[in-house]
């Protein structure tokens, strides 16, 4: 009829342990979802910057040196999302602003 103190303690431990595991799972899933969203955003940015780079004429780069398009193509392709972010700030944004 009555629970012994050890049963109550083990039940309380199970409840706390279950709550801790559920909290851990929720936090882990949030981190996972943020990673997926950042990965998709990085891939979209990479593709948009790659398309802009392919369409951009050689004379439309901020630095008027030779092989600027080839250099930026290597940076964007090999650098992935980070290379696309660098291209966005150093070429794309400058061209948009004038």
Q: What is the pLDDT of residues 19-60, one digit of tens each?
A: 888 899 999 999 999 999 999 999 999 999 999 999 998 888
Q: Are the beta carbons of 49 and 84 closer than 8 angstroms?
A: yes
Give the total number of structural domains in the chain: 1
pLDDT at 10 over 90: no
pLDDT at 67 over 90: no
pLDDT of residue 4: 57
Q: HSE (CB half, 13 Å, CA atoms) of 1?
A: 0
Structure-block tokens of residue 13? 């431990």
Residue 15 belongs to domain spanning:
5-97
Stronger pLDDT, 30 or 13, i.e. the higher one = 30
Share of the chain above pLDDT 70, in %: 90
Give the dihedral of Cα atoms 88, 91, 96, 98; nearest 10 deg: 150
Task: Determine the average pLDDT of the residues in 58-73.
Answer: 86
């Amino acid at each position: 009829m009555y629970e012994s103190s050890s049963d109550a303690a083990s039940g309380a431990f199970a409840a706390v342990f279950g709550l801790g595991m559920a909290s851990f799972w929720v936090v882990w899933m949030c981190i996972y979802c943020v990673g997926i969203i950042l990965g998709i955003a990085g891939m979209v940015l990479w593709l948009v910057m790659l398309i802009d780079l392919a369409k951009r004429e050689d004379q439309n780069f901020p630095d008027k040196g030779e092989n600027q398009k080839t250099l930026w193509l290597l940076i964007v392709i090999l650098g992935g999302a980070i290379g696309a972010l660098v291209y966005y700030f150093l070429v794309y944004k400058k061209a948009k602003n004038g």
